[in-house]
Structure 1
Amino acid sequence: MPTYNIHEFSTGINVETLPDSSWRSRGYKVGEYMNSTLPQIPYVVQLAIANKMFEVSKDSHSQKPTFVGREVRGKNADPAWSVVAVVTPGRDDYGLFNSFYRYILCQGVDRLWVILDAIDNYSQKYGRLPIFNPSEIKEIGKPNYHNISNKPLVTLPSELNSLTSNYQRALILQPGQVSDLQTINAVAEKIANGQLVSWAYDVEAVERARRFLVIQAADEKAYQDLIRIGNASIDNLSSVDEPSIELAIKGLIGGSQIKQEWIQALLQNEQVTSDHCQTIFDDQGAHTRIKQRNYSPQMVRLLTLRAIIIPDTLPEYLEWFGIDGKNKGKGDNKQKVSLEFQGQLKKHILQLEPLIDGSMKSVLEQILKKKISIPAFSWLLTAQKSLWSSYRASLLQNVRDDLEAIDNYLNSSDDSPSEPSFACGDSIWKNLQSGLPGPNYRYSYYQPFADLFERLGDYQLASYFYQVSKGVVPKNLFLKAFKNKDKSDLWGLTLNREVTWDEHLINLLRRYSLSLAAIFILVLTNLFSYMLGLQSKGKIGLKNSNGETLEQAREAGEQEGYDKGYQVGYQEGLNAARQVEIIPPMTKASSEFSTTATVMEALVKRLTNQLTEKFNQADPQIMRNQVIKEIKAIIGNPNLDYSSAIQGNENHKKQLIEAIYWYQANTGEKGYGYIDDNFETDERIEKEVNNTLLFNFANRTKPALEKLIEELLQDNSLRQKNIDRIQIINAIKNTFVGITDYTATIEEGKPKEVEKFVNSIQQYQNGGDGIINYGKQTYQRLKEEIKTQYEERFNFANKTKPALEKLIEELLEDENLRQEKFDRSQIINAIKNTFVGITDYAGAIEKGNPQEVEKFVNSIREYQNGGDGIIHYSEETYQRLKQDIQRQLLE
């Protein structure tokens, strides 16, 4: 009878046991699992979990678990596995319910029936199903050995047989239609017909039904919902050759010469929806690898292709590639690979035209909604090899045609003119279709278009959208578009050139002859300086009335008078100059505030994304709030209501403008009070934010700690001791006193926890900067100390502890001690009395508490007068300790 190794592991959580013996989660251990019988979770299984191949949703009131069975294909040297996930709801520390998974697996395909038989045995033995249970401890290297001779023969009822013959993915079964797990597995096997098997049993909700061959609903409501989702999936996929699409994607991202049939496969049918495409790309690893920051050429091509086919993913593409329009000269390797790939695709430009045309409509809408930055998209349209650059001219022409159509529609003589059709889509022009803005109304919604078309060099389009969004066109832009005019009409809209403040001033001077007043003030100022000089000269002359009034005194008096006059004039002039300098830019800053707000929001988003990318479990809102807090401190107004300012509250807007002005003035720029792409203000702020505590931790300490863990896991001495990631993390926590929640710090980036972590590092460094740099002094010291810790713990667990157990056993058998009836607890007390400083013997020996083990080892060292802190059975320290305890107890 063959024996099968049935392994398992469960969702990794921090567990809190409640007074009623129930439990709740205190947060996930990201990337970690618990109660595992495997030293390492198979890579192909991890990948399937990451790609949500086992994901189902559980209702908080659900009384029974959901079972998900799936065969996972092997890759390269990694074998295939059969896996059954048992899914149940559980409470977290916020009182919310989440789904928790217990994975039961066996190596090889066609092993699901074996796992199901093992589950049945478990249920019979324990009277319960093997659901997620944090307190059911499993040990690495100790799987369940399951014996079974033959695969059970399952005869399907005629009704199920007919369903499998008319199969359409996914087959949705009514609640109770299949009564046991072996039967649903048999149904899925028949449908699979030699391919990989997948099914879900007693399902309440699932996001992607098409990922399963068979799904049985948990109740009637779930059944109706699954039918609706399944039918939508079938409608979309009925005429889609999915394998050819997957093959085309694999071929295109592989780096070989592009084949014509691959392009045709992508364009095979209009019924291939973006949701369907998204699933296919996720199956290729897009969703997972983008979070892992995988920058391989294959991954670069995959994300480039995804951005072309699914326009909604373009913002993620631009952010992941680090494209912000300012780094095009930096030679980023990701961008080079992407552009080379796009250059290859350009050879098939005519075939790809429908994709890009559709993409452009979506992109324009995303720009207006500020999901895509202007610098990034303009880079995409101007980079030499960019596929999108081929459509720059047609994009500009399409916008012009649409604006002309709007003009014709609004000025039509027909009472009921027909709705125009737009090359760029209907949704973006709804505001303009209702009527062009008048003198007292603006469509600020279109401000991004003004910036975009100015960058693309179409100054007439840019001018049009400045007029629409701001009611005026900047002077320099207007002159580029219309030469020496002050006004111009374009597509039914009158465009007005901006009159600058210096032009206003000149007009005032001309109107009121204020130039004479300025000259008069200048004369009075000089006269005032001269009079002060004479007065001072007289005073110095009196001091020298004894006839010693020298030429030197006269010159000194004149100089003092000049200095006083200059000082008074200078201060008055400085005050006036400040007013003159501030007032015009503040007017300009107010009119340019929408640009400032856009740049500031882009900066906040960019910095927030940096943090959420580093802390993959971070709450984006917490990260955003922290970024805003840092920016407010840097520009000198920590109490500013940033959100209110950005939304246009006049008082708070003024505070933000003034803060920007003085920040610019104090950092070497001329103060303007606003920010646009011509200034480096946002870059300067970004640089300073990147040097704050949280960003230093995210950009330097966190990667260093991850690298440290990686190196320690590869260390031969630790690998021999089966030291895993969790143990290394615990060692880090023990080293840095005061760290209570490693996950909240490293994975979630909670500012208060990060601050505690940094303070602990500073203490460890004896007043250092609180930063761990890879390979530097703190890093190397920490690495050696953790290795030493585990060397000590390993020796304690494998040498000292067995020796002490043997010692106690021998002492209990000692004839003299037996006569005195000494028991185990008395011998342990004698050991504690011998090793000064031991307070918790059980904590060290039974629980392996790191602090208690360290105390114990140090006490042994003292007992050995500077030895290695290890007790070896029957050797010198052992024999000496045995004699000392005998003497202690018998005295």
Structure 2
Amino acid sequence: MRVKIMTTIKIHEFSTGIAVQGTPENWWSTRFTGYMNLTLAQVPPVLQNAISNRLFQAAEGSVREAVETARAAGETTVQPAIIAREVKEGNNAYSAIAVITPAKDEKGRTISVYRYFLTTGLGNLTHLLYWYDQKAKKLIFDPFDIKNEGDYYEYDTSQTRRFEIPRSNEKLQNLLNSDDANIIISYDIQCMIYNINKLASIKKEEYELTAWAYKVEGLSKPWFFQAIYPASRRAEETIKKQIQQGENIAPIVEGEYPVKTAIRTLSNQAGVKYDLLNHIEEALKLTNHYNDKTWEDSIFKTLDIENAKKADFNTPYFIRLYELYGLNIYQKLPDLLKWLELDAISKSNDLEQEHYKIAAELSRKIQEQIKQSPDSFKAIELKAFQGINYIISSLALKESVEGINFTQEVTAHRNKKVLLKSTTNNIS
């Protein structure tokens, strides 16, 4: 006999903030006000980042379409859409669901309102879903259901039943065995909410965080979900078209938002702060998650590195972005040197050009920050050494590196000096 181990989890909640008018039976919103009915002191930053990046957001107008679809079918209520997702940045991780329903503003227009439920840790979406689904009265957005800090729910996880995709359900089994990165369950297939949760958890890659959407008319970023169950034919067609158009978009990687923010900030300004470098350092340590392909596709492509490669180097943002690109993917360092025309600089000994000064300034400030905390940035230092070694080793073998051919009159010693200055400013 298998004995279930009882573990109690705390489930918190918060909702879209509105200025409400009317009664509990007939109310409307006059404006949005942030968040309301929080059972914790504040929305966790990692979850706020995901919301700000529209990872829990239904597409604009999709809730209005849900109302129209229900009305056309003679229904008086709209079934809530549910978006579920794991989020993680550093040691902060949560499993969360958003329950999305329509409401009205003071002019009678349809708006989307959200009620979020969350618990700490990854791997808790199944528990969260069972807790929510087993309630006799489903919890949806209700501005009159007042919650205060500390009014959390408790759930005994031993109540959660094990669920598997039925082998007899051929359609779902075929979807599970497909090579598609995003499973779109046809709107006319009967699909329990537990099915989509299981499909997403099986389909995700090892480094990915689970994400699924149920009974949605549209999503802002559908390519960032492993499984989606559209609410209608129109929704299914729209979502499939969106995914096809964005098929080259890389999946979300753990902690990528603070990493992107750090690189974007460093590219936009010359200032280098400890926490910005630390986000990059921590990502470099996660070698299973952040390989060269991840840095290329999930981080730098979304920050516009492709346009930087094509651009003239009179834009400080592109210069710094390309420099960080060469630091994090050391095989790209020669591309940076060629782009900065350091071969010409070596011959003319003119290091006063503006684009070089911008690159050198960022390198110098990174070096200064590392010197202040020499034991905190070992992974960044390693990348710098790898880049330097990659170029010098190739020069020693008298090989060209990614299209760079240094002229005969430039000695190996001088090349080494220029490279060290331009890429790492003597980080070593």
Q: How does the TM-score come out when normalised to structure 2?
A: 0.58
AA partner of residue 110 (structure 2): F
Gap runs ≥5 in structure 1: 282-301, 319-334, 354-381, 390-891
Tell me, yes or no, if the aligned pair for 2:54 and 2:220 is still in contact at 8 Å: no
Select the residue among 81, 93, 108 that pairs with 1:66: 81
Q: How many residues were matched structurally?
A: 295
CA offsets 1:335-359 (integer angstroms, 9 cap, x no match): 6x98666678796347659xxxxxx
Task: Give the corresponding residue for 1:206.
Answer: 219
Task: Give the corresponding residue for 1:149.
Answer: 158
Tell me, yes or no, if the aligned pair for 2:100 and 2:140 is still in contact at 8 Å: yes
Select the residue among 366, 376, 384 that pairs with 2:354: 384
Distance change (3 Å), C-alpha of 1:310 and 1:66: farther
Check if 1:41 corresponds to 2:43. Answer: yes
Aligned partners of 2:191, 2:101: CA distance in 1, in Å?
19
More strand by share: 2
AA partner of residue 134 (structure 2): N
Deviation at 1:148, TM superposition (A): 3.6
Gap runs ≥5 in structure 2: 1-5, 71-77, 267-275, 285-289, 327-332, 341-351, 360-428
Counterpart secondary structure, 2:173: helix
Aligned partners of 1:116, 1:231: CA distance in 2, in Å?
29
Select the residue among 85, 94, 102 that pairs with 2:98: 85
AA partner of residue 348 (structure 1): D
Aligned partners of 1:349, 1:116: CA distance in 2, in Å?
48
Distance change (3 Å), C-alpha of 1:383 and 1:352: closer
Aligned partners of 1:10, 1:190: CA distance in 2, in Å?
30
Task: Give the corresponding residue for 1:8.
Answer: 13
Select the residue among 138, 155, 160 that pairs with 2:172: 160
Map 1:732-771 → 2, pairs under 5 A: none
Higher relative contact order at CA 8 Å, sep ≥6: structure 1 or structure 2? 2
Counterpart secondary structure, 1:225: helix
Deviation at 1:202, TM superposition (A): 0.6
Map 1:697-776 → 2, pairs under 5 A: none
Deviation at 1:107, TM superposition (A): 1.1
Deviation at 1:267, TM superposition (A): 11
Deviation at 1:265, TM superposition (A): 5.7
Aligned partners of 2:219, 2:235: CA distance in 1, in Å?
9
Task: Give the corresponding residue for 1:117.
Answer: 130
Task: Give the corresponding residue for 2:56.
Answer: 54
Aligned partners of 2:216, 2:225: CA distance in 1, in Å?
12
More helix by share: 1
Counterpart secondary structure, 1:80: strand
Task: Give the corresponding residue for 2:425.
Answer: none
Tell me, yes or no, if the aligned pair for 1:340 and 1:385 is still in contact at 8 Å: no
Aligned partners of 1:339, 1:351: CA distance in 2, in Å?
12
Deviation at 1:74, TM superposition (A): 3.8
Aligned partners of 2:116, 2:210: CA distance in 1, in Å?
16
Task: Give the corresponding residue for 1:308.
Answer: 308
Check if 1:190 corresponds to 2:202. Answer: yes
Task: Give the corresponding residue for 1:361.
Answer: none
Aligned partners of 1:104, 1:193: CA distance in 2, in Å?
25
Tell me, yes or no, if the aligned pair for 1:44 and 1:75 is still in contact at 8 Å: no
Aligned partners of 2:210, 2:155: CA distance in 1, in Å?
21
Aligned partners of 2:239, 2:337: CA distance in 1, in Å?
40
CA offsets 1:463-482 (integer angstroms, 9 cap, x no match): xxxxxxxxxxxxxxxxxxxx
Deviation at 1:169, TM superposition (A): 2.3
Deviation at 1:11, TM superposition (A): 0.7
Task: Give the corresponding residue for 2:90.
Answer: 75
RMSD: 4.2
Distance change (3 Å), C-alpha of 1:383 and 1:218: farther
Aligned partners of 1:81, 1:241: CA distance in 2, in Å?
18
CA offsets 1:26-60 (integer angstroms, 9 cap, x no match): 1111xx31111111211111111111110113332
Aligned partners of 1:221, 1:37: CA distance in 2, in Å?
37
Q: How does the TM-score come out when normalised to structure 1?
A: 0.29
Distance change (3 Å), C-alpha of 1:135 and 1:154: same
Tell me, yes or no, if the aligned pair for 2:15 and 2:37 is still in contact at 8 Å: yes
Aligned partners of 2:310, 2:184: CA distance in 1, in Å?
29
Check if 1:348 corresponds to 2:335. Answer: yes
Counterpart secondary structure, 1:221: helix
Tell me, yes or no, if the aligned pair for 1:72 and 1:82 is still in contact at 8 Å: yes
Map 1:388-427 → 2, pairs under 5 A: none
Distance change (3 Å), C-alpha of 1:153 and 1:15: same
Aligned partners of 2:238, 2:205: CA distance in 1, in Å?
27
AA partner of residue 231 (structure 2): A
Tell me, yes or no, if the aligned pair for 1:81 and 1:106 is still in contact at 8 Å: yes
Aligned partners of 1:95, 1:110: CA distance in 2, in Å?
40
Map 1:760-799 → 2, pairs under 5 A: none
Distance change (3 Å), C-alpha of 1:141 and 1:387: same
Aligned partners of 1:85, 1:241: CA distance in 2, in Å?
20
Distance change (3 Å), C-alpha of 1:308 and 1:94: farther
Tell me, yes or no, if the aligned pair for 2:308 and 2:318 is still in contact at 8 Å: no
Tell me, yes or no, if the aligned pair for 2:223 and 2:251 is still in contact at 8 Å: no
Counterpart secondary structure, 2:355: coil
Counterpart secondary structure, 1:113: helix
Check if 1:174 corresponds to 2:183. Answer: no
CA offsets 1:812-845 (integer angstroms, 9 cap, x no match): xxxxxxxxxxxxxxxxxxxxxxxxxxxxxxxxxx
Aligned partners of 1:51, 1:224: CA distance in 2, in Å?
24
Aligned partners of 1:115, 1:343: CA distance in 2, in Å?
43
Deviation at 1:183, TM superposition (A): 1.5
Distance change (3 Å), C-alpha of 1:306 and 1:41: farther
Deviation at 1:196, TM superposition (A): 1.6
Tell me, yes or no, if the aligned pair for 1:343 and 1:387 is still in contact at 8 Å: no
Task: Give the corresponding residue for 2:369.
Answer: none
AA partner of residue 9 (structure 1): F
Aligned partners of 1:220, 1:96: CA distance in 2, in Å?
24
Aligned partners of 1:8, 1:267: CA distance in 2, in Å?
34
Aligned partners of 1:72, 1:267: CA distance in 2, in Å?
19
Same amino acid, percent of matched pairs: 26
Distance change (3 Å), C-alpha of 1:64 and 1:343: closer
Deviation at 1:110, TM superposition (A): 1.3
Counterpart secondary structure, 1:53: coil
Counterpart secondary structure, 1:385: helix
AA partner of residue 212 (structure 1): F
Aligned partners of 2:109, 2:251: CA distance in 1, in Å?
41
Based on CA coordinates, which of the two structures has the bigger radius of gyration?
1
Map 1:395-474 → 2, pairs under 5 A: none
Select the residue among 11, 27, 32 that pairs with 2:31: 27
Counterpart secondary structure, 2:151: coil
Aligned partners of 1:340, 1:229: CA distance in 2, in Å?
32
Counterpart secondary structure, 1:132: coil
Distance change (3 Å), C-alpha of 1:306 and 1:144: farther
Aligned partners of 2:212, 2:251: CA distance in 1, in Å?
22
Distance change (3 Å), C-alpha of 1:231 and 1:101: same
Distance change (3 Å), C-alpha of 1:99 and 1:242: closer
Task: Give the corresponding residue for 1:808.
Answer: none
AA partner of residue 83 (structure 1): A
Deviation at 1:212, TM superposition (A): 0.5
Select the residue among 22, 27, 30 that pairs with 1:17: 22
Check if 1:220 corresponds to 2:224. Answer: no
